[in-house]
Amino acid sequence: MAWRSHGKNHRDLVDQLKSHGIIKSASVYNAMLAVDRSDFCHTREAYKDNPQPIGSNVTISAPHMHAHALETLAAHLKPGSRVLDVGSGSGYLTTCIAIMVGESGRVVGIDHIKDLVELSVSNTAHSHAHLMNTTRLQYVVGDGRKGYSNGAPYDCIHVGAAAPTLPEPLVDQLANGGRLVCPVGPSGAIQDFIQLDKDENGNVTKKKLMGVVYVPLTDKCRQV
């Protein structure tokens, strides 16, 4: 039912995602319901189930992909979890994650474009400024392909753009028992949405979840 979960308003969009079986858990439903997409997507089609431009040649992912990502990570997005969101863009998914990990959790959203980081701060402040008043949610400017060592290790890592191969620094910064999701493949072609799990002994397993098309995970010079 992907691409069919268009909503008339925010609640209708989230309810459509649930009725189509994309949102399965109460935690993901409540988080997405709490974060109005129109605060992070400033177009007339904020509630359409497709990507939308947010500037700097970047898009906010379609709502069904946000729901898929949150459901894939949901078992690891528990109170107190530490999470890295690479390519945090407008801040929408980062904010949903911050709600899921609770007051004791810590979420870092990283993007290499300063304008987007400033946009994500402004967007989040619209209805969820309290999340940024502590270490619960932080946005930083940086090359997400290298991760963010100051907050490592992470229980979860979400990558919101496609890498040619899985960035090793991100795998290194994933905690034992953690999960990473990342689209992997060439720009402009079908990519694999990869789930990587690291067990308690540090052993890594990978699984291809679905085919996707994401903007490339690249450097600032190639992005803007």
Distance CA(88)–CA(161), nearest Å, equals: 9
**Six-digit token string for 220:** 């600032």
Distance CA 189, CA 7 (A): 28
Helix (H) or strand (E) holding 27: helix 26-34
**Identified catalytic residue from 5, 61, 88, 90:** 61
Q: Check if the beta carbon of residue 53 is closer than 8 Å to that of residue 59.
A: yes
Is residue 19 annotated as part of the catalytic site, yes or no? Answer: no
Please give the distance of CA 125 from its chain centroid, rounded to a whole number.
Answer: 18
The bridge status of strand 191-198 relative to strand 204-212 is antiparallel
Task: For residue 46, give both structure tokens.
Answer: 């904020």
By annotation, the residues acting in catalysis are 61
